[in-house]
Amino acid sequence: MEDVSKHPLFVEQKIRVKTYDIDFVGHVNNTVYVRWLEDLRLLLLDTYYPLEEMTADNISPIIVNTSVHYKQGIVLADKYVTAQMWGIKFERATFLIEARFVVDDEIRCTAEQRGTFVDTTKMRPIRVPKQLSKYFE
């Protein structure tokens, strides 16, 4: 398994699989992965450019595409998932981030999200904020 911890904007957190995450066939429901991606993005922002600062600067991130690739189901008995996210591209007005969900050193799911940033006063796309793009220089 590739060590992704050296990628720009890397974050990681342990997630406890909860009973309400499980669907009727005993796996983590597909919608839960999207919620976990949101949790990871908020952690990424908290770490590198907190949402409160971004909001004060009249900037908001917008996700325009999410792609999730399920490799093997995660079940309640797995108990904990290691969730990781990192930046791939931050250029001009768009960004690409990747994530993966790992159980016992086995990748169970990967995801990509593409997005942009908007000036909340004009509701128009803007360049990626320097606070984030500097990690790709």
Which residue do the tokens 């009249």 mark?
A: 58
Locate the domains of the chain by residue range.
Answer: 11-136
Q: What is the pLDDT of residue 13?
A: 97
Q: Rounded to an integer, what distance in angstroms lies between the CA atom of residue 90 and that of residue 88?
A: 7
Specify the 3-state DSSP secondary structure of 29: coil
Report, in angstroms and rounded to the nearest whole number, the Rg of the chain calculated over CA atoms: 16
* CATH T-level topology, domain 11-136: Thiol Ester Dehydrase; Chain A (3.10.129)
Residue-wise pLDDT tens for the chain (137 aa)? 889 999 999 999 999 999 999 999 999 999 999 999 999 999 999 999 999 999 999 999 999 999 999 999 999 999 999 999 999 998 888 999 999 999 999 999 999 999 999 999 999 999 999 999 999 87
